[in-house]
């Protein structure tokens, strides 16, 4: 496995020896992951490799059977999803849907409930600037939006929460190529505002365009940890996928 040397500065997220699964099914085995402040990291791998399980374990949605998770200098290994969110680690789940009976704006306001009115408005404006399509529909019920627009709204909720680390699981699912590009622009914008991003994405080439670094996960193990520039070279990702099959 090719591994980059990490900075001497403590990483924002440091995962050591993480194992996780469901019941007796072990999905992840002894993973070590690091994400630095303001870093965009792509997590790629074949279907069933354990990518979503890793995000769920980090955000407290799925139980960990071994390992430690440190975030912003704190041990969050036993934090609930809500506690992770309060600490600044926000997880946007694959296929997550909005509250259909509430308006677009109400869905966004819920994500900023713990902020004062002025700060809430600033954050809503950021989400609307990222996705003008949902800004035009702010007073409509979220259930009337198309699947792609609902996906934008879900990512908008992530923006509104303004995390230190935003974990996105397949944010391009159901989106047209043009909107996938927009999501990637939003990810870059979030980094410029101080966030790190962990991105699980099937559109590997597009993800590598915005990422600084990439992990390849196959059969619950990390088989490649390298720069996105290295991963963009012909055959590198394919070899990692196939070499561990």
Confidence of residue 26 (pLDDT cuts 50, 70, 90): confident
Give yes or no for residue 49 having a pLDDT over 80: yes
Contact 41, 211 (CB under 8 A): yes
- Report helix, strand or coil for 116: coil
pLDDT value, residue 178? 87
In this prediction, residue 4 carries a pLDDT of 45
pLDDT tens sequence across 151-180 = 999 999 998 988 999 999 999 887 888 888
Of 107, 133, 17, nearest in space to 68 by CA: 17
Q: With 70 as the cut, is the pLDDT of residue 78 above it?
A: yes
β-sheet bridge partners, residue 35: 13
In which band, very low, low, confident or very high, does the pLDDT at 5 lie, cut at 50, 70 and 90? very low
Output the pLDDT for position 8.
Answer: 52
- The structural domains of the chain, ordered by start, are 13-243 (3.40.50.300)
For the cut 80, the answer to whether the pLDDT of residue 1 exceeds it is no
Give Cβ neighbours of residue 233 (< 8 Å, ≥ 6 apart): none
Task: Quote the crossing angle between the two packed helices 117-130 and 104-111, to the nearest 10°.
Answer: 120
> Alpha-carbon distance 60 to 245, whole Å?
29
- Strand-pairing partners, residue 131, are none
Residue 75 reports pLDDT greater than 50: yes
47 by Cβ neighbours in 10 Å (0-12 / 13-18 / 19+) ranks as exposed
Q: Are 203 and 172 in contact (CB under 8 A)?
A: yes
Average pLDDT of every residue of the chain: 91
Selected residue with higher pLDDT from 102 and 112: 102
Residue 2 has pLDDT above 50, yes or no: no
> Average pLDDT in the 72-97 region?
91
Distances (CA, A) of 179 to 82, 151, 210, 238, 239: 29, 10, 15, 26, 29
**With contact defined as beta carbons under 8 Å apart, do 41 and 35 qualify?**
yes
- How far apart CA 82 and CA 84 sit, in angstroms, is 5
């Amino acid at each position: 496995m090719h591994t980059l040397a990490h900075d001497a500065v403590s990483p924002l997220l440091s995962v050591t020896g993480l194992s996780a699964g469901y019941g007796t099914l072990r999905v992840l085995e002894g993973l070590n992951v690091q994400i630095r402040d303001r870093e965009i990291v792509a997590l790629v791998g074949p279907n069933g490799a354990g990518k979503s399980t890793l995000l769920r374990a980090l955000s407290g949605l799925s139980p960990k059977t071994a390992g430690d998770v440190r975030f912003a200098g704190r041990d969050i290994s036993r934090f609930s999803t809500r506690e992770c969110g309060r600490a600044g680690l926000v997880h946007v789940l694959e296929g997550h849907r909005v509250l259909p009976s509430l308006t677009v704006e109400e869905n966004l306001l819920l994500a900023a409930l713990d902020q004062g009115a002025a700060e809430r408005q600033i954050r809503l404006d950021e989400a609307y600037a990222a996705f003008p399509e949902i800004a035009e529909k702010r007073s409509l019920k979220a259930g009337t939006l198309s699947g792609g627009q609902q996906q934008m709204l879900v990512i908008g909720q992530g923006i509104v929460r303004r995390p230190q680390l935003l974990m996105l699981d397949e944010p391009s699912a159901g989106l047209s190529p043009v909107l996938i590009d927009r999501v990637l622009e939003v990810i870059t914008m979030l980094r410029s505002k101080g966030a790190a991003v962990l991105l699980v994405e099937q559109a590997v080439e597009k993800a590598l365009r915005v990422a600084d670094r990439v992990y390849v996960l196959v059969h619950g193990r990390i088989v490649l940890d390298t720069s996105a520039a290295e991963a963009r070279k012909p055959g590198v990702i394919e070899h990692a996928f196939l070499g561990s099959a």
